[in-house]
Each structure stands twice: as structure tokens, then as C-alpha cells.
Amino acid sequence: MAAEAQHRLADFTGVSVITSSFEDRTPPTDALFDLVYAATAWKWVAPDVKYTRAAALLARSCHLAVWDAGHAFPTGFDPFFTEIQQVYDEIGEGDGSSWPPPLPEDQPDPTATEFEASGHFAVVATRRYVWARHYSADEYIALPDTFSGHIAMEPAKREHLYREIRRRLAVRQDGRLTRHWSAVLTIGRRL
């Protein structure tokens, strides 16, 4: 990703691409930014340092913006997911939660509370986005194949699950499923 970013941003002289974890990167002491932005990565940053480090990088009254995307189940979600949840349960990989999960608008999002509790930021905006994407069996399997729970799953269980995904989608007229995504964007102003 860094190489692709360098390639695409080559014409912008004021841009540099740095490969480092947020926790390990030590920026120059005189470098202050107007925006720190994290897309789908903020939850992985060490909780004891993320807000302090972000605040140290920002000039006063500048902003931290974060969002994370996850699976959503709005009214009328694709029944495929109820069917495949039964397979997860059968192979012992269900998470034990009630089904179906709460509607996206009823899902708690702790990010705004974390911003405020940090003492470094005042939340100025929070907005939820929900969208749908259509997947063929192979396109869909490529997605959970990147999830740590699926990567760590016993190979026989994972293969059974993926066979069931393919089998269930093969009987659909278009061979596709619709997965809904939800993301909450939270923007905080540095105090």
C-alpha cells in the first residue's frame, strides 16, 4: 500500500509516505497537523496511547476523524445470512449472540464516548453510513478469508463453511448475495 501511495502521490511535493505503526512513529517535534484520520484501523491502535498521540500531532482546534466498517443487518437484510449463521453454529464457530443482530441504528458505538473520555477531544460530529454491496460466491469468500477468525479457523471447518456458501449461492438465480455494511464516522476537535 505504501508503494502504491508513493506512486499515486508522486506529483505532490508536500506529501511523504511513512511506513510505521501509529504507536512507533515519532514525528518531528515541530510537526503539527490539521487532521489525523484513521479508516478501519483505529480500534487496533493501543488504547493507552491513541488519543494522547493523536492530540500531540494536532494543532489546537484541529480534528481527529475515525471510522470503522462492519457487517450490518438492516430491515430486509439478505436471508442468506440467517441460513449461513446456522452453518457457523453447526461447526462451533457461532459467537453465541442473539440472531438477528440489532439494526444498524441500534448498534452502540463507543468511539464518541472514548473521544470525550480521553480529555483531549470534543466530539463535533458523528454520522452512520449504511450501504449494500453484491457479491458472487468467490467475491464473498475472499472477504471472510481476510478476517482473523476465519484465518484461525480449523481448515476442515473453513472448507465446509465455504462449500456451504458456494452451494447456497449456486441455487440462486443470479448466484449472488447482498451484504450490508455500516460505518460510523466520528470527528473530534482537539481541546
pLDDT in tens, 9-24: 999 998 888 898 888 8
57: pLDDT confidence band, cut at 50, 70 and 90?
A: very high
Give the pTM.
0.82
Domains of the chain: 2-190 (3.40.50.150)
d(CA 42, CA 51): 10
Chain mean position to CA 133 = 15
| Band of pLDDT at residue 58, cut at 50, 70 and 90 | very high
Band (168; pLDDT cuts 50, 70, 90): very high
Grid coordinates given for 153: 479457523
The number of helices, as runs of H, and strands, as runs of E, in the chain is: 7, 4
Please give the C-alpha separations between residue 85 and each of 35, 81, 100, 121, 189, in angstroms, as whole numbers: 40, 6, 9, 39, 40
State the Cα angle at 102 between 94 and 136, rounded to 5°: 60
DSSP letter at 172 equals S
On average, the pLDDT of the chain sits at 94
- 20-41 pLDDT, tens digit per residue, is 888 888 887 888 999 999 998 9
CB proximity list for 73: less than 8 A, separation 6 or greater: 81, 100, 101, 102, 103, 104, 180
> pLDDT band at residue 172, thresholds of 50, 70 and 90?
very high
**Which one-letter DSSP state was computed for residue 99?**
S
